[in-house]
């Protein structure tokens, strides 16, 4: 894993945007896995700015979102459909037919999940998967005890996750109990994974994921098995890591050709 610690979430998000931009520019048909939540909001702002000011072209981008709540209409303000169109897709030149977000209204959920996996494969696999982190260590909606080999499927949200997201639903009682999420196995097949985490409330989950054992009880720890996982943090999210000095030393001594 490459652990990059930036002074704040603004600087980290700018760096994340440069990583995404590089992949979009390099690949003839970049396949990008997008995430939702507060964490990637500044990244998406930067991508919109790069599109407007630097001509970053999304017309070849194929998008696959990580997850979606079960039972929400796409125009529900807390749905990930709504979030993605509001914060990114409506503001760049992505082709609507290239946007894939799990359909939480699918009638046959297992068949739909299998189809989602096939669509990722047919697009050539994910070049990059952007990830946030739940306070319980989840990625996507792969809650603790998720199989490290899991594929896209329905998951039941933990009490903690429903509490964390209650603010978007005007109260915990309105938060759905289920979501469709790419599996950990699906995520690990992305050619690059970029996990971002900001703030003190993510510090413990980061310490467990980065320096703890690989365990399904901390789903993000599965990234230790990934050949190209970038963990991008602000100082607060890095505050419970034991080897901060080492990670910073490595970053400062990156060979010139590896720098972003």
Residue 44 CB, nearest approach to ligand GLP (Å) = 12
Rg of the chain, C-alpha, whole Å: 17
CB-nearer residue toward ligand GLP: 30 or 102:
102
Residues forming the site for ligand GLP (CB under 6 A): 35-39, 66-67, 132-134, 140-141, 161
Residue 78 CB, nearest approach to ligand GLP (Å) = 11
What does the alpha-carbon distance between residue 245 and residue 97 come to, in Å, rounded to a whole number? Answer: 45
CB-nearer residue toward ligand GLP: 83 or 247:
83
- Is residue 107 part of the annotated active site? The answer reads no
CB-nearer residue toward ligand GLP: 50 or 133:
133
Catalytic choice (68, 127, 143, 189): 143
Q: Where are the alpha helices (DSSP H) in the chain?
A: 9-26, 41-54, 80-87, 109-122, 159-164, 184-188, 203-211, 244-252
- Is residue 127 part of the annotated active site? The answer reads no
β-bridge mates for residue 196, sequence order: 232
Residue 27 CB, nearest approach to ligand GLP (Å) = 23
Catalytic choice (51, 81, 127, 136): 136
Q: Where are the alpha helices (DSSP H) in 3-78?
A: 9-26, 41-54
Residue 143 CB, nearest approach to ligand GLP (Å) = 9
What does the alpha-carbon distance between residue 36 and residue 115 come to, in Å, rounded to a whole number? Answer: 22
- Is residue 164 part of the annotated active site? The answer reads no
Tokens 């199989």 locate to 147
- Is residue 256 part of the annotated active site? The answer reads no
Residue 68 structure tokens: 């979606």
Tokens 């039941």 locate to 156
Buried b (16+ CB within 10 A) or exposed e, 125-145: ebbbbbbbbbbbbbbbbbbbe
Residue 197 CB, nearest approach to ligand GLP (Å) = 8
Q: Which of 183, 192, 259 is nearest to 229 (CA)?
A: 192
Q: Which of 116, 79, 77, 111 is nearest to 99 (CA)?
A: 116
Catalytic choice (138, 164, 189, 234): 138
Residues with a known catalytic role: 67, 136, 138, 143
């Amino acid at each position: 894993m490459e652990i990059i610690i930036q002074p704040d979430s603004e600087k980290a998000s700018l760096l994340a945007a440069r990583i995404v931009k590089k992949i979009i520019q390099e690949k003839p048909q970049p396949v990008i896995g997008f995430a939702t939540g507060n964490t990637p909001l500044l990244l998406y702002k930067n991508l919109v700015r790069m599109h407007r000011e630097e001509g970053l072209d999304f017309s070849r981008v194929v998008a696959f979102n990580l997850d979606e709540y079960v039972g929400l209409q796409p125009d529900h303000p807390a749905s990930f459909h709504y979030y993605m169109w509001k914060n990114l897709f409506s503001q760049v030149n992505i082709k609507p037919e290239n946007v894939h977000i799990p359909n939480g209204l699918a009638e046959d959920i297992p068949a739909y999940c299998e189809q989602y996996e096939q669509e990722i494969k047919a697009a050539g696999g994910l070049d990059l998967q952007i990830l946030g982190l739940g306070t319980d260590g989840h990625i996507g909606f792969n809650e603790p005890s998720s199989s490290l080999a899991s594929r896209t499927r329905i998951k039941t949200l933990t009490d903690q996750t429903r509490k964390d997201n209650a603010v978007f639903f005007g109260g915990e009682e309105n938060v759905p109990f289920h979501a469709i999420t790419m599996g950990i196995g699906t995520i690990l097949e992305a050619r690059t994974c970029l996990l971002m985490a900001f703030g003190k409330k993510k510090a413990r989950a980061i310490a467990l994921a980065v320096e703890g054992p690989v365990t399904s009880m901390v789903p993000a720890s599965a990234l230790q098995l990934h050949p190209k996982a970038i963990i991008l943090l602000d100082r607060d999210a890095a505050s419970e890591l034991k080897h901060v000095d080492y990670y910073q030393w490595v970053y400062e001594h990156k060979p010139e050709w590896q720098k972003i």
